[in-house]
């Protein structure tokens, strides 16, 4: 057996062990919340890791993968074409990348402005595809009446102001080529994720009153998936706990 094959086998075992551990955490969090583990979809965030890892995860039964940069995601998705995977885009998205993303993404979780809705609709229509969309909500600013201000630089991670969610939802729901699936958020740095995810759950409930089909709540990462599941997350996005630490990438 060559070293490359041996290396692949070791990586498979590592990913299998990590996956078992993450699935155990999700199951325990669901049990604690009185939820069925089948209600929560694990989305593996494969950014900075090679297509070979995506293949191994697919072989191990992972059905959903996520990437946050088009220039990295597109070749990886092409490399993995034919695998039974749903591709999620979870990064900040420039309108000029919409056509590229529409070629491989099944779900865009980071829709945060009407201009992007228009670009994605145009791109999906040209590509003859349907893109499922989540509205990324920024939870960085405190709720009105809660006082204080969030960490100054937090807005850099993107996301719509909660007050803009209804208008964005209507824009997505009426756009050709797009389907409104729900909401996504990242817990603010340094805050209590339970507070943030409870707020997201209220925003999601308000959204479902107008758009009953928009039932997805994408929340929770390696460090806070338990709190997200407790607050009703239907999708958790896990990178580090599955694949290991990422090397810093220069942007
Ligand atoms: C990287 C990333 C994740 C995964 O984070 P981990 O802490 O590595 O699990 C989840 N969501 C988004 C939007 C990300 O960019």
The tokens describing 8, both together, are 């692949």
Instruction: Say yes or no: CB of residue 237 within 6 Å of ligand 1.
Output: yes
Give the model's pLDDT for residue 155: 47
Q: Do the domain assignments include residue 250?
A: no
Give the model's pLDDT for residue 158: 81
Give the model's pLDDT for residue 153: 44
Mean pLDDT of 169-183: 98
Q: Which domain holds residue 185?
A: 2-243
Q: Do the domain assignments include residue 175?
A: yes
d(CA 193, CA 225): 9
| Cα-only R_g, the chain | 18
Q: Do the domain assignments include residue 251?
A: no
Q: Is the pLDDT higher at 100 or at 2? A: 100
159 near 185, Cβ under 8 Å?
A: yes
Q: Do the domain assignments include residue 69?
A: yes
Q: Do the domain assignments include residue 113?
A: yes
Residue 160 sits in a domain of what CATH number? Answer: 3.20.20.10
Q: Is the pLDDT of residue 152 over 50?
A: no
Is the C-alpha dihedral spanning 51, 55, 57, 63 positive or negative?
Answer: positive
| 66 Cα: distance to centroid of ligand 1 (angstroms) | 9
User: What residue's CA is closest to ligand 1, atom 11?
Assistant: 237
Give the model's pLDDT for residue 154: 44
Q: Do the domain assignments include residue 140?
A: yes
Q: Do the domain assignments include residue 248?
A: no
In ligand 1, the atom with minimum distance to the C-alpha of 47 is: 1
| 157 Cα: distance to centroid of ligand 1 (angstroms) | 12
User: What residue's CA is closest to ligand 1, atom 14?
Assistant: 90
Instruction: Note the maximum CA span of the chain.
Output: 64
19 near 242, Cβ under 8 Å?
A: yes
Q: Do the domain assignments include residue 173?
A: yes
Number of domains within the chain: 1
């Amino acid at each position: 057996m060559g070293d490359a094959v041996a290396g692949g086998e070791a990586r498979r075992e590592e990913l299998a062990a990590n996956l078992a551990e993450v699935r155990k955490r999700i199951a325990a969090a669901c049990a604690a919340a009185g939820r069925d583990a089948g209600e929560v979809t694990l989305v593996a965030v494969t950014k900075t890791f090679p297509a070979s890892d995506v293949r191994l995860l697919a072989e191990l039964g992972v059905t959903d993968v996520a990437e946050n940069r088009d220039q990295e995601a597109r070749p990886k998705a092409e490399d993995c074409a034919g695998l039974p995977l749903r591709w999620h885009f979870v990064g900040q998205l420039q309108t000029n990348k919409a056509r590229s993303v529409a070629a491989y993404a099944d779900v865009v979780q980071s829709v945060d402005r009407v201009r992007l809705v228009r670009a994605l609709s145009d791109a999906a229509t040209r590509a003859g595809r349907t893109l499922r969309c989540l509205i990324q909500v920024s939870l960085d600013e405190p709720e009105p009446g809660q006082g204080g201000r969030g960490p100054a630089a937090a807005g850099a991670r993107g996301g719509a102001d909660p007050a803009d969610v209804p208008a964005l939802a209507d824009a997505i729901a009426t756009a050709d080529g797009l389907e409104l699936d729900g909401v996504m958020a990242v817990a603010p740095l340094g805050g209590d994720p339970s507070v943030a995810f409870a707020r997201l759950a209220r925003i999601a409930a308000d959204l479902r009153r107008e758009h009953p089909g928009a039932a997805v709540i994408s929340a929770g990462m390696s460090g806070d998936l338990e709190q997200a599941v407790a607050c009703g997350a239907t999708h958790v996005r896990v990178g580090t706990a599955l694949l290991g630490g990422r090397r810093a990438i220069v942007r």
